[in-house]
């Protein structure tokens, strides 16, 4: 089934802040909420059952966080306001399914479509491995998913039906079904691990939105259900290692569950990875863009190349001959056997294209009168458009309009295997970890959706490829721990190179593209070969990282490092040669000595090479000299305090020490100063939280909020977000 809308979501610094409350439209309507508590949740469960009999206890959480899932009418829930053990209430929607674009199958060349099972170059199928998909739910009645679906839970509605959001429930979803098909589709479409068992957990509701604790509660349910692997193709904009979801992920791994997380779709800049992909023990995944031939237009007289993007619902752009371009608005009658150039208007894209088709045009170019990218669909199953329809930029459209009878031909740009532009980059703030750990296919991915199939792009599609690969490894080595599995994947990954043969930066690709067969059959496992040496603060520092190398073969293996050339201000100390006996492991030390003034400030990264017979392993490294250009504050939230109507709570994540932080409000249209909304004096690195009375917040309305960070070194940095005070 194809979809007649275009849905675009990406991580961003901008957060729409709507105060939280638990009021319903009807006093009799039951509400489902999750409360975080202090102390023993089982004791609090007994107390509520005794003294609040009209409140239903749905679930008790004590593994990854401490809390209760409860149901009740708003009136009954409000009576719990006096309970001092309630730490927080969590209907706040702050996580979202990560995706970039939906693509129509017909608009992509068959050879460019990626089928998930193509990644499986092994004899394994994931049989006997339990995979938990924490997402928007899944269409478990899909013929390609029904065979592998076992059970699940809906943390949004607090019931045992993790079906995708239906149209009558709000903005419908399909994201989780697509993710599940990549992992374990088992029908007309086969996933990476087509015999793995699927467990679905709906933590993201209508529109693909959910809360921190809904995600953590779903993880806890999955751990208690005994899954081997959890896939999280979701996230937020906070780049910090100690965010609650990241900490919960680390605990799940400690309990024996491999956790795979999409790195995010906010690339190509650094620092764009968000929680929970920032978790230290998770496998963060970036998106690989496969080679493909992308159509483009070429005007030979002026040697001008014009990029185009085929619209959803369009047939492929395959024009065999040069054609003139005509401004359709000025000359509709003259569009026959020409390419019609049409400016976007209030008329639907389909209608614009249909008019051009009926005028005899061979193709349609639609452009926007503004700078931002134009996206849209011309889908119409009843009467589809038979000519190609694509989007070009405003600048290219204006250039064409300025030419005298321009004629363009279609050429094709052959792209190399590389990182998708949208793929979020590291490093992580505060601890400066390298993220992602690995990359996997994330563009033109065909998989299951409710009622059919669809092609999606995003790290959300890359992560389940890795989850499927881990299912194959788990089947082959059921006794391997999550640490060993992650080590096998990262040790054997293949780094991507640029056109000059230089490897792409570690913060872009981690250790590189996964290779399931090599991971299964590796004779060497390096426990987390991504070397983060932290921040260099003093004049001269020597930092030592210890890594454990496991020889999984039945013979002794000898290893040796290439010793990097000595650079000004940078010296390495590495063991040149060492031997590890069969089925043994050894911990070795890697030391870097940095003389800070002799190096530029900022992020320094590169690769160390470890040799073993015919194998070479690439170990990415990173350190920060003195300071970096990471955002100093992010993730500003402002909501009503639980069970209160006149007290608000604010939260702000800070990535390095600061003297004070101001939140200054401006008119969103005129940018005229309104007032200083908040000033934080006692700033700490990490999450900062506090309360404000209603009398302190001023006039309600929509504002442009500038977060101004006054650093300890005297520098000042600010970023803008949106604040809505109801």
Instruction: Name the pLDDT band for 99 (thresholds 50, 70, 90).
Output: low
pLDDT of residue 417: 83
What tokens does 46 get? 């007994």
Strand pairing class (570-573; 585-595): antiparallel
Quick: pLDDT tens for 28-46: 577 777 788 899 999 999 9
pLDDT of residue 374: 60
Task: Specify the pLDDT at position 271.
Answer: 94
Q: What is the pLDDT of residues 252-269, one digit of tens each?
A: 999 999 999 999 998 899
Percent of the chain with pLDDT over 70: 92
The highest-confidence range among 125-134, 233-242, 244-253, 343-352, by mean pLDDT, is 125-134
CATH number of this structure's domain 633-725: 2.70.50.50
671 compared with 33, residue with greater pLDDT = 671
Banded pLDDT at 8 (limits 50, 70, 90): very low
- pLDDT tens per residue, range 367-392: 977 655 566 778 776 788 999 999 99
Q: Are 316 and 388 in contact (CB under 8 A)?
A: yes
CATH for 96-291+418-509 (3.40.50.200, 1.20.120.1750, 3.20.20.120, 3.90.79.10):
3.40.50.200
User: Quick one: pLDDT at residue 674?
Assistant: 92
Looking at per-residue pLDDT, the higher value among 82 and 543 belongs to 543
In this prediction, residue 573 carries a pLDDT of 94
pLDDT-derived band at 104 (thresholds 50, 70, 90) equals low
pLDDT classification of 101: cutoffs 50, 70, 90: low
Of residues 275 and 370, which shows the higher confidence score?
A: 275
Average pLDDT, integer, range 622-636: 91
pLDDT at 334 over 50: yes
Whole-number Cα distances in Å, 603 to 490, 506, 533, 625: 22, 11, 11, 6
Question: Could you report the per-residue pLDDT of 429-448, keeping only the tens digit for each?
Answer: 999 999 999 999 999 999 99
**pLDDT at 548 > cutoff 60:** yes
Q: What is the rounded average pLDDT of the residues 604-615?
A: 95
Radius of gyration of the chain (CA): 27
Q: What is the mean pLDDT of residues 586-605?
A: 96
Cβ pair 281, 482 in contact under 8 A? yes
Q: Residue 44: in which H helix or E strand, if any?
A: helix 41-51
Instruction: Give the residue from 663, 652, 659, 661 showing the smallest Cα distance to 713.
Output: 659
What integer best gives the mean pLDDT of the chain? 88
pLDDT of 3 higher than 50: no
The dotted CATH code for 523-625 is 2.60.40.10
Domains 96-291+418-509 and 293-414 share a fold: no
Kindly report which listed range (18-27, 39-48, 170-179) carries the lowest average pLDDT score. 18-27
The residue behind tokens 């293996």 is: 557
Q: Which pLDDT does position 5 carry in this prediction?
A: 25
- Answer whether 439's CB lies under 8 Å from 462's CB: yes
The fold of the 293-414 domain, in CATH, is Glucose Oxidase; domain 1 (3.50.30)
- pLDDT for 22: 30
What pLDDT does 280 receive? 96
Residue 372 has a pLDDT of 53
Instruction: Specify the pLDDT at position 566.
Output: 83
Question: What pLDDT does residue 6 have?
Answer: 25
Q: What is the pLDDT of residue 375?
A: 60
pLDDT in tens, 480-519: 999 999 999 999 999 999 888 899 999 999 999 999 999 9
| Whole-number Å distance between alpha carbons of 229 and 247 | 17
Q: Label the pairing between strands 716-725 and 701-711.
A: antiparallel
* Per-residue confidence band for 240, with pLDDT thresholds at 50, 70 and 90: confident
pLDDT number for residue 107: 59
Counting other chains too, the contacts that 336-342 makes at CB distance below 8 Å and 24 or more residues apart are 336/360, 336/361, 337/361, 337/362, 338/362, 339/363, 339/364, 339/365, 339/408, 340/364, 340/365, 341/365, 341/367, 341/397, 341/400, 341/401, 342/366, 342/367
Evaluate if pTM is beyond 0.85. Answer: no
What pLDDT, in 10s, does the model give residues 190-215?
999 999 999 999 999 998 888 888 89
Domain residues of the chain, as ranges? 31-90, 96-291+418-509, 293-414, 523-625, 633-725
pLDDT digits (tens, 9 = 90+) for 125-169: 999 999 999 999 999 999 999 999 999 999 999 899 999 999 999
583-592: pLDDT as tens digits: 999 999 999 9
Read off the pLDDT of residues 518-542 as tens digits, 9 standing for 90 and up.
999 999 999 999 999 999 999 999 9
Q: Token digits for 338?
A: 């020409």
CA distance 443 to 422: 10
Topology of domain 31-90 in CATH is Alpha-Beta Plaits (3.30.70)
């Amino acid at each position: 089934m194809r979809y007649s809308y275009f849905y675009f979501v990406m991580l961003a610094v901008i957060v729409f802040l709507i105060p939280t409350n638990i009021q319903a439209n009807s006093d009799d309507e039951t509400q489902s909420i999750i409360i975080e508590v202090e102390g023993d949740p089982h004791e609090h469960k007994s107390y509520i059952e005794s003294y609040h009999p009209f409140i239903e206890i749905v679930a008790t959480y004590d593994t990854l966080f401490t809390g209760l899932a409860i149901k009740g009418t708003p009136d009954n829930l409000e009576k719990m306001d006096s309970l001092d053990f309630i730490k927080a209430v969590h209907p706040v929607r702050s996580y979202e399914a990560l995706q970039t674009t939906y693509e129509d199958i017909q608009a992509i060349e068959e050879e460019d479509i990626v089928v998930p099972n193509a990644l499986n170059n092994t004899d394994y199928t994931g049989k006997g491995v339990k995979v938990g998909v924490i997402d928007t739910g899944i269409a478990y009645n899909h013929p390609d998913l029904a065979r592998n679906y076992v059970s699940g839970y809906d943390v949004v509605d607090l019931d045992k039906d993790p079906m995708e959001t239906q149209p009558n429930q709000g903005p419908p979803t399909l994201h989780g079904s697509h993710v599940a098909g990549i992992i374990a589709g088992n029908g007309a479409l086969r996933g990476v691990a087509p015999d793995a068992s699927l467990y679905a957990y709906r933590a993201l509701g209508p529109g693909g939105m959910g809360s921190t604790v809904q995600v953590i509660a779903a993880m806890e349910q999955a751990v208690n259900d005994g899954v081997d692997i959890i896939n999280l193709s979701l996230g937020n904009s906070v780049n910090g290692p100690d965010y609650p979801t990241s900490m919960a992920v680390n605990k799940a791994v400690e309990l024996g569950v491999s956790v795979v997380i999409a790195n995010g779709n906010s690339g190509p800049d650094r620092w764009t990875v968000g929680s929970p992909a920032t978790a230290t023990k998770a496998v963060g995944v970036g998106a690989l863009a496969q080679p493909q031939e992308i159509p483009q237009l070429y005007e030979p007289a002026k040697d001008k190349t014009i990029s185009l993007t085929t619209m959803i619902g369009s047939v492929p752009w395959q024009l065999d001959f040069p054609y003139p371009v005509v401004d359709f608005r000025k000359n509709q009658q003259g569009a026959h056997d020409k390419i019609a150039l049409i400016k976007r208007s209030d008329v639907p894209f389909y209608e614009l294209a249909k008019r051009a088709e009926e005028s005899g045009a061979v193709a349609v170019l639609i452009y926007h009168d503004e700078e931002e990218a134009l996206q849209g669909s011309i889908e119409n199953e009843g009467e589809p458009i038979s000519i190609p329809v694509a989007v070009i930029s405003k600048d290219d459209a204006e250039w064409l309009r300025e030419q005298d009878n321009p004629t363009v031909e279609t050429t094709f740009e052959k792209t190399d295997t590389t990182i998708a532009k949208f793929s979020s980059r590291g490093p992580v703030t505060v601890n400066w970890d390298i993220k992602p750990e690995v990359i996997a296919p994330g563009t033109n991915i065909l998989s299951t959706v409710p009622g059919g199939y669809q092609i999606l792009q995003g790290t959300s599609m890359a992560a389940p490829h890795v989850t499927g690969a881990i299912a194959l490894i788990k089947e082959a080595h059921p006794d391997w721990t999550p640490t060993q599995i992650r080590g096998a994947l990262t040790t054997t990954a293949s780094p991507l190179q640029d056109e000059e043969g230089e490897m792409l930066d570690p913060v872009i690709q981690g250790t590189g593209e996964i290779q399931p067969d090599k991971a299964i059959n590796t004779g060497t496992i390096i426990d987390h070969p991504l070397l983060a040496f932290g921040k260099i603060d003093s004049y001269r520092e020597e930092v030592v990282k210890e890594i454990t190398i496991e020889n999984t073969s039945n013979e002794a293996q000898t290893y040796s490092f290439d010793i990097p050339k000595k650079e000004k201000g940078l010296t390495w100390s590495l063991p040149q040669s060492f031997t590890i006996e069969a089925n043994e492991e050894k911990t070795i030390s890697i030391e870097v000595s940095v003389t800070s003034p002799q190096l530029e400030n900022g992020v320094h990264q590169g690769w160390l090479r470890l040799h073993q017979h015919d194998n070479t392993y690439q170990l990415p490294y990173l350190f920060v000299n003195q300071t970096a250009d990471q955002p100093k504050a992010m993730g500003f939230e402002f909501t009503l305090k639980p069970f209160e109507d006149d007290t608000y709570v604010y939260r702000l994540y800070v990535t390095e020490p600061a003297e004070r932080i101001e939140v200054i409000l401006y008119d969103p249209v005129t940018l005229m100063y309104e007032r200083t909304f908040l000033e934080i004096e006692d700033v700490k690195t990490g999450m900062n939280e506090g309360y404000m009375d209603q009398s302190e917040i001023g006039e309600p309305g929509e504002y442009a909020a500038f977060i101004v960070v006054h650093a300890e070194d005297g520098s000042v940095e600010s970023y803008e977000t949106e604040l809505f005070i109801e």
